[in-house]
Amino acid sequence: MISDPDSSVLFVQSGQIIGNPFLLTRSLRFAMGSKAYTGSLYITWTVTVTVNGKTETQFRSQTLYATVNKPFPTYGTHDMLIYGNEAAPDLTFSRDPSKANQLNEKQIEKLADRETKKIEKMSRKSVSAGGSLTAMTNEDFEGLFKAVNRNDEVQFRLLFTPLAQKQIVDLIKDKAIGYGDDFSFIKNHCLNMIVPNHLSGQDIFANPNKYVKYDLAEARKIFNDYNNNYFRMFYFALAPILSIPLYQQYKPVEFIYQNTYSSNVSCWEHEAVSNWFDINQLKHPSSVTNNILKTHVLSSGGGADEINVTAHGFQGVPRIDYVSVYGGDGRYHNVPVPWTEYLPVSKDSRVIVKVADATARPDILKNNNTNQDWRAFFEKTTGGIDNVVFCKSLLALNVLTKFDASDNQKLSQLLAANDTNPK
């Protein structure tokens, strides 16, 4: 995802299960699609007709229509949970949701039976052709999970023990507590990717502003409702992983994720923090579409990363095509069809991402309002506090001037002070 030039991370939440890392991500993805543009042309002509033995001239009119299809940039969000585990390291497979969500229990049984028979047939063909696909004895699991493109039967069975199979089937069939079978599951060696449909369109950003109310009881209710719902969404996104006992027993020999990195913050967070800014600060002035933000580290030190943020968007250039259309007057006419050609544009910005673990959100708000040293510093480096964002203990600055070691030291001092002695 990070290396994908057509995708930008909007949100990332990281954690670990017995040393095995996971990431919950939402990304903005770009694809060049197509759009139909329609134009029209009003034409008139005269005809000579005979009415009641008399010749007369009559006027005729018609609106001609024409359509052209042109490239059109499209954007959409994509949610995914990525989990790393070294168990069954050679195994790859993928599966998509079955139709179990739309069926009752009897229909689910018929679906499982039908799909199992298909898989058994595929298994016989695979074996006769020298392949390795072998159907599992648990027909419900085989028919509903349907990971027939697995590449290693031994490791597949090592991962999906009888208990794991039962728990996966229970998860797929359950629609009362969870979301049923709404997830894709892709395993690519040590990486597991879960794509849960129930996260689509949901608020997973947990912005503290949503809890701000004058009524304490109302604020508490909003907080509890949101976080209870968030936990349910997150738990069932992780549920396919938790259903596999081996994943809960396997601890990496060494925590490779604790090595020293070239930056203080991961590349995932760099993209996410860049997307916190008002896009108008980062996009090319001519851009009229969404923008895909990509980052790379320029330097790192003193708890701060200097990154380059490139905003990729499109400018719209008006065009007109003329399409020949046959009219009722017996002639061809060039119907004008206005359309927009989207040409790529980009802009580079410099952003400082500062780790601010000891700083709380109220400190930031207080400093923004009352600390003159604070405001003067950001006026000098960014043009004002509107070009600064704070979230998840990260302070990000869209800098307009050179930001050197002395600036970073000054910022560290301001953060350490926490406005205890405002001037």
* Domains of the chain by residue range: 87-249, 267-417
- pLDDT tier, 96 (very low <50, low <70, confident <90, very high otherwise): very high
386 neighbors 346 (Cβ within 8 angstroms): no
188 neighbors 84 (Cβ within 8 angstroms): no
Which pair of structure tokens corresponds to residue 287? 């851009």
Enclosing H/E stretch for 358: none
Q: How far apart are the first and last CA of the chain?
A: 45
pTM for the full predicted model: 0.84
**Is 161's pLDDT higher than 70?**
yes
CA dist., res. 283 & res. 298, Å (int):
19
Residue 128's pLDDT is 73
**Is 126's pLDDT higher than 50?**
yes
Residue 253's pLDDT is 61
- CB-based burial of residue 207 (10 Å sphere; 0-12 exposed, 13-18 middle, 19+ buried)? exposed
**Is 422's pLDDT higher than 60?**
no
The letter for the amino acid at 346 is: S
pLDDT (tens digit per residue) in 273-314: 999 999 999 999 999 999 999 999 999 888 899 999 999 999
CA dist., res. 399 & res. 383, Å (int):
8
pLDDT (tens digit per residue) in 216-239: 999 999 999 999 999 999 999 999
81 neighbors 186 (Cβ within 8 angstroms): no
Question: Best-predicted range by mean pLDDT among 6-20, 72-86, 129-143, 166-180?
Answer: 72-86
Residue 99's pLDDT is 78
* C-beta atoms surrounding 115 within 10 Å: 19
Residue 2's pLDDT is 63
Which has more pLDDT, 13 or 340? 340
Residue 263's pLDDT is 67
- 393 conformational bin, left if phi > 0, alpha if psi -120 to 50, beta if neither: left
Mean predicted confidence (pLDDT) in 335-350: 97
Q: Where are the alpha helices (DSSP H) in 275-360?
A: 279-282
pLDDT (tens digit per residue) in 239-258: 999 999 999 888 776 554 45
